[in-house]
Copies of this chain bind each other. A is one copy, B any other.
Amino acid sequence: MRFFSDNAAAACPAVMAALADANQLDTAYDGDAWSRRLDGAFSVLFEREVRALWVTTGTAANCLGLAALCPPTGAILCHSQAHIEQDEAGAPGFFTHGAKLTLLEGEGAKVSPEAVEEACARVRYDVHQVLPTALSITNATEYGLSYRAAEVAALGEVAARRKLGFHMDGARFANAVAFTGESPAELTWRAGVDVLSFGFVKNGGMSAEALIFFDPDRAEAVPRLRKRAGHLLSKGRFLAAQLLAMVEGGVWLDNARNANRAAQALAEAAGPERLVHPVEANELFVRMTAQEAAAIRAQGYDFYDWAPGEVRLVTSWDQDMAAVEKLARAIAAL
């Protein structure tokens, strides 16, 4: 059983059914009946009017969102371990035409208001330096921590004061909602977030992510940017249908809860001593010797070696709880 990444899991039944339903002639691009329902569906979910666009990858969602917030001459503040810095092959530089990522530190890939404030305070606001223009955080973080609404709001307060557009990379936003029990609205726009990359693929989608603008004005140029980046699919209904199937039926939250539950089971088995970070979503970073890791793998489980003496396990929406509990027992028995 593979615990490499939620990226690689199957698509969930609701998504597959939606694809079959959408397999009929309709208007091309995003003029179809499904795409036209997106704004409405996400506006309900977020309890305010939003603009929602489908894209096929988290990188595209993040970078189109950042391009809407930051001009080529600006800087985006983010954690040094942020996905946009570590795992997008420089896509932010491409989509923003050369804006800069200014890196912050913080436990568990979390950004603190103090770190944001300090980074801004260090800058001379003259023509020689690159000015901070946006802030991007990841929720849940790359190390599986979930920001609470109050934490996001504290960051939102600095962002507003420093006039930073506020972006949230929500590749695992569903897991953060499931873990914190706080509402999508509380974790985003009520806390000052301007743009959210709302991930579906890791959570049971096939190929659709949602890019959400809480201020529709901010979204104005984005459909054009999406097209110009080659991201306007001609049969867009197949993307919209995936999102609707997961959002309108609550599947997105059920799936995330399943993945989180599996992660909690493993976390309890591992115990606090072994856990490098608190487990607040569907990722675990576990201290384990090479021999221990080998012993677990010998029982048919696979996962990444993250660092010497540390492995990463990621649980998925479709993880079979019986198998997970067997693994939990194996870990507990180490």
Contact = CB atoms under 8 A, between A and B. Distances in A.
A58 B234 CA distance: 9
A97 B95 contact: no
Interface residues of A, number: 71
Interface in A36-83: 55-61, 63-64, 71-73, 75
A221 B20 contact: no
Interface string A14-34: 001001100111111100100
Contact of A91 (B96, B223, B230, B235): B230
A225 B73 CA distance: 7
B206 A235 contact: yes
Contacts of A91: 227-230
A256 interface: no
Interface stretch (A4-12, A140-148, A174-182): A4-12
**Of residues A4, A228, A239, which shows the largest number of chain B Cβ atoms within 10 Å of its Cβ?**
A228
Interface string A217-239: 00001011101111111110011
Given A10-B25, A25-B2, A235-B7, A130 B57 contact: no
B94 A100 contact: no
Contacts of A72: 90, 93-94, 97, 228
Contacts of A103: 103
A87 interface: yes
A303 B60 CA distance: 33
Nearest to A8: B28
A230 B5 contact: no
Contact of A89 (B8, B19, B73, B201): B73
Contacts of A87: 128-129
B93 A98 contact: yes
